[in-house]
């Protein structure tokens, strides 16, 4: 099975900062990676699909990059509404999906 890791597990930054979260797969997953944002007490929401494609309606302050085993999610100009936990998810090993452990972002 493909294992997903994320780093850091949590971070604290200031409003206006640029923040980067890393997601690593245990084997090559090409670009088969999605990113989700989960705000406290809410359901997750899709941010990025296929490693780098911004979901409709999501602010362009979010950028996804990477392929193979190493991926990043960057939040530019961090805002208070970005406080959330961010999860990566692989789908290369169909029909199975796997989430990363999450990265909690605080301000």
Contact set with another protein (CB under 8 A): 1, 32, 34, 36, 38, 43-46, 49-50, 55, 85, 87, 89, 91, 94-102
H or E element in which residue 8 lies: none
How far apart (Å, rounded) are the C-alpha atoms in residues 84 and 15? 14
Length in residues, the chain: 107
In whole angstroms, the minimum distance from the beta carbon of 35 to another protein comes to: 9
| E strands, the chain, in order | 4-7, 10-12, 19-25, 33-38, 45-49, 53-54, 62-67, 70-75, 84-90, 98-99, 103-106
Smaller CB separation from another protein, 15 or 96: 96
d(CA 85, CA 56): 20
In the complex with another protein, the residue whose CB is nearer, 81 or 97, is 97
Closest separation in Å from C-beta 87 to another protein: 6
CB-nearer residue toward another protein: 7 or 77:
7
Closest distance of CB 16 from another protein, Å: 28
CB of 77 to another protein, least distance (A): 25
């Amino acid at each position: 099975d493909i294992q997903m890791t994320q780093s850091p597990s949590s971070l604290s930054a200031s409003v206006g900062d640029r923040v980067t979260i890393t997601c690593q797969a245990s084997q090559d997953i090409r670009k088969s990676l999605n990113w989700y944002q989960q705000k406290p007490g809410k359901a997750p929401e899709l941010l990025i699909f296929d490693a780098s494609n911004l979901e409709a309606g999501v602010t362009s302050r979010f950028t996804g990059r990477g392929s193979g085993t190493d991926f990043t999610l960057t939040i530019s100009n961090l805002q208070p509404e970005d406080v959330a936990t961010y999860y990566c998810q692989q789908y290369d090993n169909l029909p199975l999906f796997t989430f990363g452990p999450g990265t909690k972002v605080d301000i």
